[in-house]
A and B are shown apart, each in its own frame.
Chain A
Amino acid sequence: MRLLSDSIGRKVVMAITGLLMVLFVVGHMLGNMSIFAGANGINTYAEKLHGLPVVVWATRLVMLTAVLFHLVLSIAITLENNKANPTAYAVDRRLRATFAGKNMIWTGLLLGGFIVFHLFHFTIRSVPGMEIVQVQELSGRFDVFAMVAGAFGKGITALVYVVSMLMLYLHLSHGIQSTFQSVGLNNPKTMPGFVRFGSVLSVIFLIGYGAIPLAILFGLIGK
């Protein structure tokens, strides 16, 4: 039996890597909420976080592994599935499949693109045309707040982030409940709960993350 090539083995790996990324998404959102406490809030949070290099680098390593496995397997699985069902019916009527479920590979690939862009934008800070003016607070502490507020002051940048969060929402509105089925926890009693949990959590991500660029763009914070 093989974890990475048998159909269900790969499904379980997709679910576990997906869940690991969801855990990160939860933590990252909670951290980002500190921006609503103003410049001192998020800058203190950033300073504290980077005072824990072991935590930061361990997380990065786990996330890199998870993203790579998830990405490579998802492409392999999707190509195989397309080959297994090459002909569409003349009448396209689905009973249960959702828009989100049917477009996992596209929302996923856009998310993959967003992850790379986001790292170059705010972590490595070298996106051509979107250079970050590196500013420091009077204390010499790196000013994350100014960086984020400056970036999202531009409509196009805010739009890229909001659209990406819509992709995250779609991906996870199917993905979260799906993981419970993949690892074998589903039954008719638990399923409605898992589906609701997935919908609620993905909406929370959409609102939580989406609020940051929108609040800055419309001048609610950052002034």
Chain B
Amino acid sequence: MSAHATEHGTMNLKLIVWRQSAPDKAGRFETYEAKGITPHHSFLEMLDVVNEDLIKAGQDPIAFDHDCREGICGMCSAVVNGVPHGGHERTTLCQLHMRKFKDGDAIYIEPWRARAFPILRDLVVDRGSLDKLIQAAGYVSCHTGGVPDGNAILVGKPEADYAMDAAECIGCGACVAACPNGAAMLFAGAKVSQLAELPQGQVEAPQRVAAMVRAMADQGFGNCSNHYECEGACPKGIKVKFIARLNREFTKALFLEKIGAISTVKAASAD
């Protein structure tokens, strides 16, 4: 046990974890003890401790996604007591610390659940459907060849800030996992808004929004009912104003197409 454990007093927790050996196998909840957890452990480190015990006991460790462990990659993903990433403001699961829990707590740990995110194993889901949305969104027209001058295209400070706010999305999929409709509108809204705000992204803006909306349906995501659960769960503070922007961009593109101001927008299927 680490030095912290003796310094701060440790806690023992009861974990109720979703275990599923393969995508097509039935899953079930299993109960585990997490012993000797310090307040400094992150949630993922707490799972590491449990997994070490499981491995020592000759059992299968709990599979979970992770990479950077510093809140920037978007890999970590589990629903903790009913809320993706555990429900603390602007906190990914890897940045959720065990000081938020008390000795003796029972913690339910489940994978993201949505039709578009099939479970691969335990807490690991396939989020390839989000990549499909990005693919459908296509490209941004820009000059290639010689390195362009840094300030050749001027972008105002407010526009740059707005685009940066949208670009904070790390693609974790918590918004989909939190949505009662399994919709990806916050993710798509952030991408569409980020690009539609900038001169480079405006060229293909109508095509992009049409393609992303169609791809969301193709990938099995649901529709938006304006519950705003996504905003509540997003670890990066992405606001639903970007969904309003998505709706606006879609309506604008549809109008321009119907009056013939732009050519028919063909939304290619993402597959």
Contacts and interface: CB of A to CB of B under 8 A. Distances in A.
B251 A96 contact: no
Interface in A1-37: 1, 3, 6-12
A175 B7 CA distance: 53
A207 to B, nearest CB: 25
Interface-central residue, B29, B226, B249, by most chain A CB under 10 Å:
B226
Given A85-B179, A90-B110, A97 B229 contact: yes
Interface in B244-260: 244-251, 253-254, 257
Contact of A97 (B224, B227, B246, B249): B227
B251 A12 contact: yes
Interface in A171-219: 174, 177-178, 181-188, 191
Contacts of B87: 93, 95
Interface-central residue, A6, A93, A183, A188, by most chain B CB under 10 Å:
A6
26 contacts: A6-B210, A8-B213, A8-B224, A8-B250, A12-B250, A12-B251, A80-B222, A81-B181, A81-B222, A84-B115, A84-B182, A84-B221, A85-B113, A85-B179, A85-B181, A88-B113, A90-B29, A90-B108, A94-B180, A94-B229, A95-B229, A96-B231, A102-B227, A174-B226, A184-B248, A184-B249
Contacts of A9: 250, 254
Given A8-B250, A181-B244, 19 more contacts: A1-B210, A1-B257, A6-B214, A8-B213, A8-B247, A81-B180, A81-B222, A83-B115, A84-B115, A84-B221, A85-B179, A85-B180, A89-B108, A89-B110, A93-B81, A95-B83, A178-B225, A182-B226, A186-B240
A147 interface: no
Contacts of A220: none
Interface string B165-192: 0000000000000111111000000000
B226 A84 contact: no
B240 A84 contact: no
A1 B183 contact: no
Interface of B: 16, 29, 79, 81-83, 87, 108, 110, 113-116, 178-183, 210, 213-214, 216-217, 220-229, 231-233, 239-241, 243-251, 253-254, 257, 265, 267
